[in-house]
Chain A
C-alpha cells in the first residue's frame, strides 16, 4: 500500500544574516495509512522544521514530499493553504482556540475556508458531530475560558478533524496539560487512531507520551536517527517498538 506520507531526501537551510544554517540534512521517512507515529528529538534537532514541512507550512529547499499521493514540496503558498485545509489537521501545544468564541464556532472555523461551499447548517452539524466524538456534546456553546485545559485540547482536536483530514499533526499536544488530563487526551488520540484509522504524527519530547505511538522517529541534528520507515520493508523497525534507549531519553530532555 502506498504510504500516506513519503519524504525523500529533504534539505532545509535557514539564512541567519550571511550564515547558512542547515536544519534538515537529507531527511527521508514514510508514514503508512492508519499509523500513529511519534517524532522525538531535542530542541534544535530540526523536529519543528520537519513538522512545519510535514504540515505544509514551509517548503523544503530540496527533496520531495508526497502527501496522499500528491507531490507537494514545491507548491505555492495559496496551493499549500488549500492543501492544509483539505488534508491536514493541526493540534497545538497551546490549543490556539479563538478567545470568546463558542466551542462550536471554533470547531467550524476551518470549514469557512473550505473550497466546496458548505452551508451554515451543514457546518454546524459537522462541528456538533465532531464535538460529540471528542465527548464535548454538552459544551458546544461554551467559550474556551470556561473549559478546562483537557477540554480545550479536545475542542482543538475536534477542530483538526472537522475537515476529515488524511493526516493529523499534533505538536506537543500534552505539553500544557497535567499528567491526568494528558492521559485523557492521549487516550483520545490513540482511540482516534485505532478505532477510526486516522493517521497521526505527534511531536513530543516526553518518552511517556511517545510510548503511546506505534512507532517513534528520532531526529538528531537534522538527520533521522531511527524509525524513519514503517512496516516490513524497513530494517529499522525493531528498536522503534522496543522503546527508548537511555541515551535517547537524555537527548529528549
Chain B
C-alpha cells in the first residue's frame, strides 16, 4: 500500500465517525494547546526580563572593594576602601574589552528646592562615562563634563521622579537645588527608565561629578567609610589623589595650625570610591573584561599570586541568567503539567482506538480476507491514531497560539511566538499517536481473519 493511500484510508475511516474522532482528539488538542501557550508566554517573559536588564545598562560590570576586617571582625562586602579613581583610569587604559568605565560614589541625603524636599534613592557621584555605561540618555539640557569632575563643580542631572517631586511641572534647568546645604545647579534631565528588576525606581536619581559628592557632600565627614578603615588610615596622611585631579586638597581644605589639628583631628581625605562601573564591549566580551580587570587591579593593588582579591567583580549576566533561569524553570514546570495532559490525551486515544478495533473486528476480517496482510492492518490503525494526533496537534497549535494572543491582548503579557514549540508540539503529538496507537493496532493485526469475520 502506498503512503498516501494509507493516509487516505485512515481519513476515510475516521470520517465515518467524526464526532468520536473529534472527542478523541480533544485531549491532544488541549495538551498541545497548553504546551504551545506555556512556551510562548514563558519565552515572552524571559525576553521581557532580558530587555529590562539590558535597560539597566547592558554588559555592565560592577567592581566593588572587598570586605574590610579588623581583628577578626569583618565589615561586609564593599566595606573596604581599596578602589581609587586611578584604578578606574587604569581599567579604561589597559583593558581592551572594556568600552567605558566610571567611578561611582554613593550617598543618601536630603535634597531641597524652595519649600520642597525629597530624599532620592540614588545620589550618584560619577564621571560623564556613567551615562554611557548605564545607558542613560539626557532628555533636556546637557550632561556633566570631565571638567566638572576635575573642578568638583556643583552641577547635577536629575531623574524624572525628582523633577516631579521638587519642581512640579516647572523646568528644573538652571535652577539651584541643595544637597546637605551644598547648592547644585541643574544642568540636565534624564529620560525616564522606570523600575529596575528589584522594583526600585531608577528615575529617583541625582547624578553629579563624583569629586563633588565625595569632597563637598560626604567627604569631610567620611561617613561612608567604616570605623576600622578610618582608624587604620588616620595615622598616615595618605593621599592618592594624582595630578589628574588637581582641584582636590588645597582648595577644599584651608591650612590649619598644629594646635587646631591636635584639638580637632582631621579625618583623612582618602580618595577611595565606592564602586567602579565598567561596560564591556559586548556580552561576549564580558569574561575577557573580567579577566583583564582582575589582572589590572591585582597588579595595581600589589596582590601576590595566591592571595585573595581585595575587590569583587559582579556582572549583570549573572543576574540575567539567574532570573531567566528562574522563569525557564517555571516554564518547564508548567510544560511538565502540559505534557501530563498530553499523556492523558494519548491514553484517551488508546482507549478509543481499542474500542474501535473491537467494533471493527468484522472490517478487519474482511480486509484480511481480501488480501490485507497483518502489517497492512497494523499500519492502518497506527496511521489512524497518528492522523488523529496530528490533527489534534494542529488544532492545539491554533488553540495555544490563539490563547497566547488573547493573553497578550487582554492581559498585556509579553508573548513570543516560538517555532521550536510548534515543531516540538508536532513531534510530540505524532509520537503520542505512535506510542498509544501501537497497542490497539498491534492487537488488530493479530486477529485471525476467520474469527474476525464471524465476530458479531
- Using CB atoms and an 8 Å cutoff, list the residues of chain A in contact with chain B: 52, 55, 57-58, 77-78, 81-82, 84-86, 90, 92, 96, 98-101, 105, 109-110, 112-114, 117, 120, 159, 163
Q: Which residues of B contact A120 (CB under 8 A)?
A: 5
Q: A101-B12, A112-B1 are in contact. Are A58 and B371 (CB under 8 A)?
A: no
Inside 8 A of A163's CB, which chain B residues have their CB?
Answer: 370-371
B87 to chain A, nearest CB (A): 80
> For the complex, what is the distance from the CA of A58 to the CA of B374, rounded to whole Å?
15
Q: Are B369 and A57 in contact (CB under 8 A)?
A: yes
Chain B residues with CB under 8 Å of A159's CB are: 370
Chain B residues contacting A78 (CB-CB under 8 Å) are: 373-375
- Looking at the assembled complex, report how far the CB atom of B455 sits from the nearest CB atom of chain A, in whole angstroms: 11
Q: Considering the complex, give the chain A residue whose CB is closest to the CB of B1.
A: A112
Contact assessment for A81 and B2 in the assembled complex, using a CB-CB cutoff below 8 Å: no
Contact B371 A96 (CB under 8 A): no
Q: Mark B1-37, 1 if CB is under 8 A from A, else 0.
A: 1100100010010011100000000000000000000
Q: List residues of chain A with CB within 8 A of the CB of B365.
A: 96
B449 close to chain A: CB less than 8 A: yes
B450 touches A57 (CB 8 A): yes
Q: Which 10 A-B pairs have the closest CB atoms?
A: A85-B371, A110-B370, A100-B16, A113-B371, A81-B373, A96-B366, A78-B373, A113-B372, A84-B371, A90-B369
Q: Are A110 and B2 in contact (CB under 8 A)?
A: no
Interchain nearest-CB distance for B178 vs A (Å)? 89
- Contact of A86 with B366 at beta-carbon distance under 8 Å, contacts A112-B5, A113-B1, A117-B2 already known: no
B residues in contact with A110, CB < 8 Å: 370-371
Which B residues contact A (CB, under 8 angstroms)?
A: 1-2, 5, 9, 12, 15-17, 362-363, 365-376, 449-450, 453
Give the distance to chain A from B358, nearest Cβ to Cβ, in Å. Answer: 15
A86 touches B371 (CB 8 A): yes
With both beta carbons as reference points, the residue of chain B lying nearest to A79 in the complex is identified as B373
- Can you sample 22 A-B contacts with CB below 8 Å? A52-B450, A55-B369, A57-B369, A57-B450, A57-B453, A77-B373, A81-B372, A82-B373, A84-B369, A92-B366, A92-B453, A98-B16, A98-B366, A100-B15, A101-B12, A109-B370, A112-B372, A113-B372, A113-B373, A114-B371, A120-B5, A163-B371
Given contacts A112-B1, A113-B1, A82 and B453 within 8 Å (CB-CB)? no
Nearest-Cβ distance from residue B454 to partner chain A, whole angstroms: 9
| Closest residue of A by beta carbon distance from B369 | A90
Within the assembled complex, what's the spacing in Å between the Cα atoms of A247 and B227?
A: 127
> With A112-B5, A113-B376 in contact, do A81 and B371 touch (Cβ < 8 Å)?
yes
- CB-CB < 8 A to B369: which residues of A? 55, 57, 84, 90
